[in-house]
Chain A
Amino acid sequence: MNLLDLIKQPWPWYIAGPLIGLTVPVLLLIGNKAFGISSSMRHICAMCLPANITFFKYDWKKESWNLFFVFGIFLGGVIAASFLTDPKPIQVAPELASDLAHYGVTDYSNLVPTDLFSWESLFTLRGFILMVVGGFLVGFGTRWAGGCTSGHAIMGLSNLQWPSLVATICFMIGGFIMANLLLPFILAL
C-alpha cells in the first residue's frame, strides 16, 4: 500500500488528536495567537453588520488572521473531499446505525448524513430544526460561553484554565441531553 492510499483511509484518533493539539503551539509560535474558531463569527458580525452594538465595535482587522484560518479550514475540506476521499462508506457503531434506520437515515456515503442535511429537507420542520435552530444555538451558545471546543476545550484546558473546564463540562452535558433525550423526538418529526 502506498502512502497516498494510507492517507485516504480514515485517520485513527491517536494520529489526528495530537495533530489537532499541535495547532496550539503552532499558532502561538508563528504569531502569539490563541487557538479559537468561534471568534471568527464575531469578527464576521463586526465586519458586516456591527449595527452600533458595543460588542461588535472593535478593530476586527487586527483579528483578520482568524478569518484566514477559518477560510483555510474550508479549503482543507475542499482538498480532502477532492483528492483524499475514501470510497468506502463511513463505519458507525451498529447500535447507532440500527437506531438511525428507524428515522430513515440509511445513507453512509457522506460524513454528513444527506438524509437529514440537504436543501430539500431544509424546508421541512425536522430539517429546519437540525440546520437553522441548531446553527443558531451553536452561534449564540459559543459566544455566550466565550468560546467553543477549540477555544475552551483545547486552548483553555491546555493553559489549565478552570473556567474552560466548566465550559467544557457544560458543552458535554448539553450534548448528552440533546443526543439522548431530545434528538429522538426531533428525528421522528
Chain B
Amino acid sequence: MKNIPYLVVGILFGIIFVKAEVISWFRIQEMFRLQSFHMYGVIGSAVATGMLSVFIIKKFNIKTLSGEKIEIQPKTFKKGQIYGGLLFGLGWAITGACPGPLFAQIGTGVTVIIITLLSAIVGTWCYGYFKDKLPE
C-alpha cells in the first residue's frame, strides 16, 4: 500500500509524457536535427523547475511528509558516464525514446515496443554481466 502514491505520480507523469508528445519518435528526431524548440523547452524548463525545488528544499530544510530529513545522494564521476552516455545517446535517437517513454509508448497501444523494452532490459543485464571488464 505504501507504494500507491508512486503509482499515482507515475500515472500523472505518463499522461504528461503522452500529451506533451515527448514520447514521440518524431519529436526526438526534431530535437537532434535542431528543427524544433519543443524538446529543449520541455527538458530546460523541467530542469529549471527541479533546480528551484531542490534549492528551496535545501534552503528551508524541508522534511518529507513523514518528517524525515531529505537526503539526495551525490553523483560521483566515472568514465562510464562518457562511454555509457554516448551509447545511450545513440540508442535514444534510434528508438526515439529514453526508458520512461518506452513504458508510456507501450501504454498507448504500440505493443511492439515491448520488444524494445525487453531488449533494453537485456542490455541492462549484459552491462551487469560485463561490468568488471569495462572501464568504470
Known: A70-B10, A76-B14, A141-B86. A178 touches B94 (CB 8 A): yes
Known: A112-B105, A144-B134, A163-B75. A80 touches B88 (CB 8 A): no
Within B54-88, the residues touching A (CB, 8 Å) are 54, 56-57, 62, 64-66, 68, 70-78, 80-88
User: Which B residues lie within 8 Å of A32 (CB)?
Assistant: 64, 68, 70-71
Q: How far is the CA of A75 from the CA of B26 in the complex (A)?
A: 22
A166 at the interface (CB under 8 A from B): yes
Q: How far is the CA of A161 from the CA of B4 in the complex (A)?
A: 30
User: Which B residues lie within 8 Å of A22 (CB)?
Assistant: 49, 53
Within A142-171, the residues touching B (CB, 8 Å) are 142-150, 152-164, 166-171
Q: Does A175 contact B127, Cβ atoms closer than 8 Å?
A: no
Q: Does B94 contact A133, Cβ atoms closer than 8 Å?
A: yes
Of A34, A75, A170, the residue contacting B14 (CB under 8 A) is A75
User: Which A residues lie within 8 Å of B106 (CB)?
Assistant: 74, 77
Q: Does A117 contact B110, Cβ atoms closer than 8 Å?
A: yes
Q: Does B75 contact A156, Cβ atoms closer than 8 Å?
A: yes
User: Which B residues lie within 8 Å of A95 (CB)?
Assistant: 33, 35
Q: Does B105 contact A77, Cβ atoms closer than 8 Å?
A: yes
Q: How far is the CA of A31 from the CA of B9 in the complex (A)?
A: 12
User: Which A residues lie within 8 Å of B118 (CB)?
Assistant: 135
Q: Does B99 contact A138, Cβ atoms closer than 8 Å?
A: yes
B77 CB to nearest chain A CB (Å): 4
Q: How far is the CA of A103 from the CA of B69 in the complex (A)?
A: 54
A175 CB to nearest chain B CB (Å): 4
Q: How many of chain B's residues have a CB under 8 angstroms from any CB in A?
A: 117
Within B87-129, the residues touching A (CB, 8 Å) are 87-100, 102-113, 115-129
User: Which B residues lie within 8 Å of A149 (CB)?
Assistant: 43, 92, 98, 100
Q: Does A111 contact B25, Cβ atoms closer than 8 Å?
A: yes
Q: Does A17 contact B46, Cβ atoms closer than 8 Å?
A: yes
User: Which B residues lie within 8 Å of A54 (CB)?
Assistant: 131
A117 CB to nearest chain B CB (Å): 6
Q: How far is the CA of A169 from the CA of B88 in the complex (A)?
A: 11
Q: Does B123 contact A143, Cβ atoms closer than 8 Å?
A: yes
Interface residues of B (CB under 8 A from A): 2-33, 35-51, 53-54, 56-57, 62, 64-66, 68, 70-78, 80-100, 102-113, 115-129, 131, 134
The 24 sampled A-B contact pairs (Cβ below 8 Å) are A15-B20, A17-B45, A19-B16, A20-B20, A37-B98, A38-B98, A51-B129, A55-B131, A70-B99, A72-B13, A74-B10, A74-B104, A74-B107, A84-B15, A139-B99, A139-B119, A139-B122, A141-B123, A142-B98, A144-B83, A149-B100, A170-B89, A172-B32, A186-B94
